[in-house]
Chain A
Amino acid sequence: MRQRLRGWLGTALVRETGLTLLAVALAFAVGTLIIWAAGFSISAVFTNLWRGAFGNRISLGQTLTQATPIIFTSLSFLIAFRCGLFNIGAEGQLYVGAMAAAVVGTVLRVPAWLGVPLCLAAGGLAGAFWGWIPGLLKARRGVNEFVTTMMLSYVAIELTNFLVAPRGPLHDRTAWSNQTVRIATTAMLPRIMRPTQVSMALVIAGIAAIVVWYFLFRTPSGYELRSVGQSPAAAEYGGIRTPRKIVLALTLAGFLAGLGGAGEVLGTHYRFIAGFSPGYGWDGIAGGLIARAHPVAAVFAGLLMGALRAGGMQVQRARAAPGDIATVLQGLVIFFIIAPMLIRRLLIWKRRRN
């Protein structure tokens, strides 16, 4: 018994990682079957998938650019998840964060060392506000955060849409598309992999992952937040004020997603563009699950998702298959990550029933 425990503990991390990699491998195997069954060339699809994701500097840049916001939204999802909450609204939090960063970045006339942090803070705080509302509703009134975060997400998307629509207050009159004017040069995040769009936002995402890890596993507050997620009754017993933790978790979730949105504006587009996100917020749910709610793993999950997106585009361009194949693969990865948990649950349930 003792030895078994010790052995198990020593390899918990190894085992979790192994299971995840296995899930990815299985997903690709089943994906291959689907490609074959649909009548596409397996080799053409995978060659293009690889080429689009890592083939050269440009495609690698594409992967990293797409991965950046997904890392943020994955962190957003998992920090709420650790408190036993579902933040389905990262997409909207991303949009309000982007908008706030764009507004501050246009208006401010200060040096870069001050301008960039201010814009990032604005983005984060706007997202945080968007997460704080569902948090408060959940803590005070028990309103299901699943519903409120999702609904507020649509509010955020439509609200920002309105602001940059042709007759909206922030519309750039010189442009045909629905967007704000360009932000000040001093608000821009430096590009780190020219000629691609990869910016310092990627580095910030990495730092954010470490900070989230530190927060969750090395601070009393993170400890409390995890307690509430793992066992609300025991947390209450330990004198932890659950409602506060719920508000905190959703606010932080919003902050992280908002920061991701700010990164998009300050590092990639240099302005707010309506509909700029192809669903990064939703990808964050997948990313958080693939990472098994571990902040450092979320970086890798984000990279995987980014690679699938970038590769999928190349598959489409080369007409090897519809680009949706990337989405299929992504879905399969999630399926195989969650399936073992489900199977284990089912087994336990069956044993109990017997």
Chain B
Amino acid sequence: MTSDQGGAMAELAVRMEGIVKRLPGVVANDGIDFALERGEIHGLLGENGAGKTVLMSVLYGLYHPDAGTIAVRGRKQSMTSPSKAIRLGIGMVHQHFMLVPRLTVTENIMLGSEPMKGGLFLDERAARRAITELAEQYGLPVEPKARVEQLSVGHQQRVEIIKALYRGAETLILDEPTAVLTEQEVEHLSAALRKLRGEEKSTVFITHKLSEALALCDRITVLRKGKVVGTVRAKETSERELAEMMVGREVVFTVRRREATSGQETALRVEDVEADDDRALPALKGISFELRKQEILGIAGVEGNGQAELAEVLTGLRPAKSGRILLGGVDLSGKKAHDYIARGIAHIPADRQRRGLVLSFTLKENAVLGQHRNPRFSVGPFWQKQRAIGVYTQEIMDAYNVKAPSPSALAQNLSGGNQQRLIIGREFSKSPQVIVASQPTRGLDVGGIEYVREQLLNMRDKGAAVLLISMDLDEILMLSDRIAVIYDGRIVAIKDPEETDRQELGELMLRGAGEMAGRAG
């Protein structure tokens, strides 16, 4: 692209030049140039910590750059605050939504730009009408009168987008919008963005998912370590090229699924288990399956069909109302997490920051979580073997490549990828018989994902039985020896990955098995 200086014809929606932003200990943006054309969907791609969100926060007025200039529609601006950015027609939808849970959709959208009636009263009806119009125009259905706290994540995201449009956004920044969406919702979002493009509105789409960037964007800018690696047209590039730009080296894409040797002996048998979710509604409605030694059993399903509850029930964190959980012939249902750990069930929790780690603890303290009573690390109730714990932590750090200054560093100071490595190191070092891995690669960058997958296969080959719960269908297909589809709290089918495909699995995930589909109409 050439720089069309000031040309009224090819006026850019946004031009950022030489943006430098230093954050404590790191140069998050190191002289970034970024140009956003009108009416384009522009992907901003990069590993975790590449500087994508920081760059867009600078544009949205959340950060003040240490150097560089920003021009909006050809005119130089200093973005002093988000309200200034909003006035200039820039809207941002953050990864974590900024909605008031107790207020309705309409109230949330109005907030900050309330239409008035007679100079004194809120004109909520006018707002509602405007919202409904926007929703229909872009195919972003929202329920204006519903309270935000009752809405699904996907619905809340639509509210955020409409809020930005309601305030007159010409440029929309979406920070990893698809991380929280189901495949279907992703489709709907893509359609809406294409409609926006049709009206000369621009979108910046922050992501680290290659396939999405390719499918949706017109151009893609790749960042690495705070610098621009390059900007490419989506039509003229490939996943492989993008991945290389992102990580700066060849990435092994297909983790080879080595043939499991035996895999016939049962490690864990789940019989007719029922359990409630947090709202005391039935989440598991009679789940049965068998997990064999030396296999990875993938659980495929759309989020919210009981996966989270299943992981918790199988690790003693959630009581089963009925049914049996047999590990080596012993029924563990009704036991607590303590007993599951003692019986050799390892758990990689989906929420690693809340469940998997005590963030304010050191790596040492986190490395023995769950094993802190083990004679290896303590003498009865009287003494924790600091030395042994330190050595053990260092071993985990070395073996699992946890980058941290020392075993005494705090877990909260590690990056997400290193936190996950620590958890995996801790759980796998116990040489578990059964591993319950819940969303083990979610939110990790390409290198981290690859690493975690290798480790799971490695444990499988050493004889562990792995239950892999993941929203990422590609991951399930890539790693699993067998695939179980969960739908509405039941396992509706178990498939051989060689004999199925995305289509069939997707169908099962969305509609359940045949006769149920018939009933559901």
Residues in chain A within 8 A of chain B (CB atoms):
1-6, 8-9, 218-221, 223-224, 226-227, 230-231, 233-241, 351-354
The answer to whether B317 touches A237 (Cβ under 8 A) is yes
The answer to whether B361 touches A238 (Cβ under 8 A) is no
The answer to whether B341 touches A239 (Cβ under 8 A) is yes
Residue-wise interface mask of B (47-78) relative to A, using a CB-CB cutoff of 8 A (1 in contact, 0 not):
00000000000000010000000000000000
Residues of B within 8 A of A230 (CB): 358-361
In the complex, what distance in Å separates the CA atom of A351 from the CA atom of B351?
23
In the complex, what distance in Å separates the CA atom of A231 from the CA atom of B349?
14
Task: Evaluate whether A237 and B381 lie within 8 angstroms (CB atoms) in the complex, with A6-B405, A227-B358, A231-B358 already known.
Answer: no
Q: Does B175 contact A (CB under 8 A)?
A: no
Residues of A within 8 A of B316 (CB): 239
Q: Which stretch, B211-219, B261-269, B289-297, B369-377, touches the partner chain A?
A: B369-377
Residues of B within 8 A of A238 (CB): 337, 341, 369-370, 372
In the complex, what distance in Å separates the CA atom of A211 from the CA atom of B515?
66
Residues in chain B within 8 A of chain A (CB atoms):
24-26, 62, 81-82, 96, 98, 315-317, 336-342, 347, 349, 351, 354-361, 365, 369-370, 372-373, 377-378, 381-384, 386, 404-406, 408-410, 413
The answer to whether B337 touches A237 (Cβ under 8 A) is yes
Given known contacts A234-B358, A237-B317, A237-B337, what 19 new A-B pairs fall within 8 Å (CB)? A1-B25, A5-B404, A9-B405, A9-B406, A219-B382, A220-B381, A220-B384, A224-B372, A230-B360, A233-B351, A234-B354, A234-B356, A238-B372, A239-B341, A239-B370, A241-B336, A351-B62, A352-B98, A354-B82
CB distance from A146 to the nearest CB of B (A): 22
In the complex, what distance in Å separates the CA atom of A273 from the CA atom of B137?
79
Cβ-defined partner of A6 (8 Å) among B26, B82, B338, B406: B406
Residues of B within 8 A of A220 (CB): 372-373, 377-378, 381, 384
Residues of A within 8 A of B25 (CB): 1, 3-5
CB distance from A316 to the nearest CB of B (A): 43
Residues of B within 8 A of A351 (CB): 62
- Looking at chain B's contact residues, the main secondary structure is loop
In the complex, what distance in Å separates the CA atom of A240 from the CA atom of B25?
36
Residues of A within 8 A of B81 (CB): 354
Sample 15 A-B pairs with CB under 8 A, ordered by A number: A6-B406, A9-B408, A218-B383, A219-B381, A219-B382, A226-B361, A231-B354, A233-B355, A236-B317, A238-B337, A238-B369, A238-B370, A239-B338, A239-B342, A352-B96
Cβ-defined partner of B356 (8 Å) among A224, A227, A237, A354: A237
Task: Evaluate whether A234 and B405 lie within 8 angstroms (CB atoms) in the complex, with A220-B381, A241-B338 already known.
Answer: no
The answer to whether B406 touches A239 (Cβ under 8 A) is no
CB distance from A236 to the nearest CB of B (A): 6
- Among A1, A220, A224, the most chain B Cβ lie within 10 Å of the Cβ of A220
The answer to whether A9 touches B359 (Cβ under 8 A) is no
The answer to whether A5 touches B409 (Cβ under 8 A) is yes
Can you list the 6 inter-chain pairs with the closest CB atoms, starting with the nearest?
A239-B338, A4-B25, A238-B369, A238-B370, A239-B337, A231-B358
The answer to whether B356 touches A223 (Cβ under 8 A) is no
In the complex, what distance in Å separates the CA atom of A352 from the CA atom of B95?
11
In the complex, what distance in Å separates the CA atom of A239 from the CA atom of B383?
19
CB distance from B50 to the nearest CB of A (A): 14
Residues of A within 8 A of B315 (CB): 237
CB distance from A71 to the nearest CB of B (A): 24
The answer to whether B406 touches A237 (Cβ under 8 A) is no
In the complex, what distance in Å separates the CA atom of A354 from the CA atom of B357?
28
CB distance from A143 to the nearest CB of B (A): 21
In the complex, what distance in Å separates the CA atom of A53 from the CA atom of B382?
39
CB distance from B298 to the nearest CB of A (A): 23
Residues of B within 8 A of A221 (CB): 381
Q: Which residue of A lies closest to B342 (CB)?
A: A239
The answer to whether A223 touches B365 (Cβ under 8 A) is yes
Q: Which residue of A lies closest to B362 (CB)?
A: A9
- Among A224, A235, A238, the most chain B Cβ lie within 10 Å of the Cβ of A238
Residues of B within 8 A of A233 (CB): 351, 354-355
CB distance from A214 to the nearest CB of B (A): 9
CB distance from A135 to the nearest CB of B (A): 18
